[in-house]
Amino acid sequence: MAQPLARDVAEEIAKLHGVCIRPIALKRLDMTNGKSEVVDVPCGSPLESKCPPCAKRNRQIRMAQCREGWHLDEEPITTPDETTNGQRWLVEFRADMQAKRDEEEKAGGDPSDLDAVLTGLDIEINEAGMRGNVLGRTGSKRVRSTKRRQDAPDLPKRKMSSTTLGRTFEAPDGRTYRPSLFVTLTLPGYGRIMNGAPVDPDTYDYVRAARDALHFSKLVDRFVQNLRRVAGYDVQYFATVEPQKRLAPHLHMAIRGTLPRAEMKQIAAATYHQVWWPQADEALFEGDHLPIWNDGYVDPDTGEVLPTWDEALDQLGDEPMHVIRFGDQVDVKGVLAGSPDADQCIRYLSKYLTKSLGETLDGQAQREHAARFVDALRYEPCSPTCPNWLRYGVQPKNAKSGLVPGRCRSKAHKPEHLGYAGRRVLVSRKWSNKTLAEHKQDRRTWVLEALGQADEPTDPHRYIWQPVKPGDPDVAPIGVRLLRSIAERQRWRAHLRRLEELSATPQAA
């Protein structure tokens, strides 16, 4: 009885001291002296529900990353620029899109939309005076009917320059200002909402809400693409996807540089994404009446083989299965570097980062709303490989035996994700010239400097790390490990405090 209690207490104290409550034990073998010891490393979870101290630390690192890139006044990458600006930008943008496309395919997704983007970019690259195909293509490419290609919306285009910095403005007093933007984009309405729940659940458009959430990340990609075209430079952003009270995902975006507010609204209004998938409105097979696996899925009544994913795509009609757009609520705010306003935006941007999308439920009506949303997501296909396609008479991509509609394991269907399975933090490649790992290292360096210890890089070959097997006698009970980490943290804190006091004490002349 005493043991779990002790553990709870240790956990509470650990939280107070910012110590990870779910440390991972690793065996570390020191190659310089052959000694091995068990070392605790923090779990690093970004979610408060899993480990509040790690989630808090994670959020702070993200805030630092956001702050660092927002108002940069020098290009983050300093390689000489010899090709013309526009060409260079196009090729780099294409490389980004190619990587995205390959990633999508590797994850079993449908890269055909990104293929269309690549095709368009190749044409532009050729028009910009560069010959041939930039990368050659990886993987097979679907040929799509031109009527299904999504055109770039009708937006003003500026001549592209390769800078990632926004314009500066000079005030009459000679001071230079570098304004940036803070933008919030929301999805459209699906029915009237009061206190985070629909007034009339029966008419609330859950299907549309579910599909919008599932494809939200594609819409964001399109937005960035359009933004860069209109702005005429390589716009950099730091964005977070967070849940609204009505449980729809929305986007906060810190953008380096500025554009007229009206233009931002115009871009948001013109941005859309079409989903060219088979229909998923009419269930052909449900309950016990499901397609049967016979080296491919067949109709249980006729024995006829169902169309494969590729066949189904070839048979698509003229209408996309879904079109997603932003709602009218577009919030654009100009922000100046270093102002209290900027700090407030950064806090706002990371407000919900430590919570999963479905974790902010409040009250009975909202819990019921969430349950209905999860219900709507249950049979909505989340990707080309989703088993739900069987319900609509199509074999999922890479079909194998044992697939059951309604039992997709992808996280998009889970209550804590509410349809959005993408990344919560989206940072463009040239945001701050630093990776997240480097931002972490920054913090470490700062602490070590304060402690007066040099942060010398350790020889990467010095240690060999190994996982610890369950029941390893070298691993102390969790309570003991937590208390040990707390003691160490206190020692550091005390040391830092002493240093602070010393530096604050006026020196005797």
Which spans of this chain sit near Zn ion (rule: CB under 5 A)?
20, 22, 42-43, 51, 54, 382, 386, 408, 410
Residue pair 64/439 in contact (Cβ under 8 Å)? The answer is yes
Q: How far is the CB of 59 from Zn ion (least distance, A)?
A: 13
The smaller minimum CB distance to Zn ion, of residues 22 and 245, is found at 22
The smaller minimum CB distance to Zn ion, of residues 235 and 357, is found at 357
Tokens 């059951």 belong to: 404
The smaller minimum CB distance to Zn ion, of residues 110 and 234, is found at 110
352 exposed, middle or buried (CB, 10 Å; 0-12, 13-18, 19+)?
A: buried
Reading the block at residue 423, the tokens are 């990344």
Q: Bridge partners of 305?
A: 298
Q: What are phi and psi of 482, to 5 degrees?
A: -65, -45
Q: Bridge partners of 241?
A: 251
Q: How far is the CB of 150 from Zn ion (least distance, A)?
A: 23
The smaller minimum CB distance to Zn ion, of residues 54 and 253, is found at 54
Please work out, in degrees rounded to the nearest 5, the angle formed at the alpha carbon of residue 423 by the alpha carbons of 420 and 429.
145
The smaller minimum CB distance to Zn ion, of residues 43 and 284, is found at 43
Residue pair 273/151 in contact (Cβ under 8 Å)? The answer is no
Q: How far is the CB of 396 from Zn ion (least distance, A)?
A: 9
Q: Which helix (H) or strand (E) holds 98?
A: helix 85-106
Q: How far is the CB of 210 from Zn ion (least distance, A)?
A: 11
Q: How far is the CB of 216 from Zn ion (least distance, A)?
A: 15
Residue pair 35/463 in contact (Cβ under 8 Å)? The answer is no
C-alpha pair distances (Å), 117 with each of 85, 95, 113, 183: 20, 12, 7, 24
The smaller minimum CB distance to Zn ion, of residues 128 and 436, is found at 436
Q: What is the CA radius of gyration of the chain?
A: 27
Spatial separation of the C-alpha atoms in residues 507 and 23, rounded to whole Å: 42
Q: How far is the CB of 291 from Zn ion (least distance, A)?
A: 16
Spatial separation of the C-alpha atoms in residues 115 and 121, rounded to whole Å: 10
Q: How far is the CB of 413 from Zn ion (least distance, A)?
A: 6
The smaller minimum CB distance to Zn ion, of residues 324 and 382, is found at 382
Q: How far is the CB of 422 from Zn ion (least distance, A)?
A: 14
Q: How many CB atoms lie within 10 A of CB 56?
A: 16
Q: How far is the CB of 19 from Zn ion (least distance, A)?
A: 8
Query: Closest Cα partner for 65 from 191, 201, 240, 297?
Result: 240
The smaller minimum CB distance to Zn ion, of residues 20 and 220, is found at 20
Spatial separation of the C-alpha atoms in residues 145 and 181, rounded to whole Å: 38
Q: How many CB atoms lie within 10 A of CB 97?
A: 18
The smaller minimum CB distance to Zn ion, of residues 313 and 412, is found at 412
Three-state SS at 182: strand
The smaller minimum CB distance to Zn ion, of residues 54 and 224, is found at 54
Strands (E), 191-300: 193-194, 197-198, 237-243, 249-255, 272-275, 292-293, 297-298
Q: How far is the CB of 237 from Zn ion (least distance, A)?
A: 28
DSSP state of 203: T
Q: How far is the CB of 410 from Zn ion (least distance, A)?
A: 4
Q: How far is the CB of 482 from Zn ion (least distance, A)?
A: 11
- Please count the CA atoms within 13 angstroms of the CA of 259 that sit on its side-chain side: 27
The smaller minimum CB distance to Zn ion, of residues 187 and 382, is found at 382
Q: What is the DSSP string of 189-248?
A: -SS-EETTEES-TTTS-HHHHHHHHHTHHHHHHHHHHHHHHHH-S---EEEEEEE-TTS-
Q: Which strands form 237-243's sheet, in the order they lie side by side?
A: 330-336, 179-185, 249-255, 237-243, 425-427
Strands (E), 361-488: 425-427, 463-467
Spatial separation of the C-alpha atoms in residues 478 and 167, rounded to whole Å: 54
The smaller minimum CB distance to Zn ion, of residues 332 and 408, is found at 408
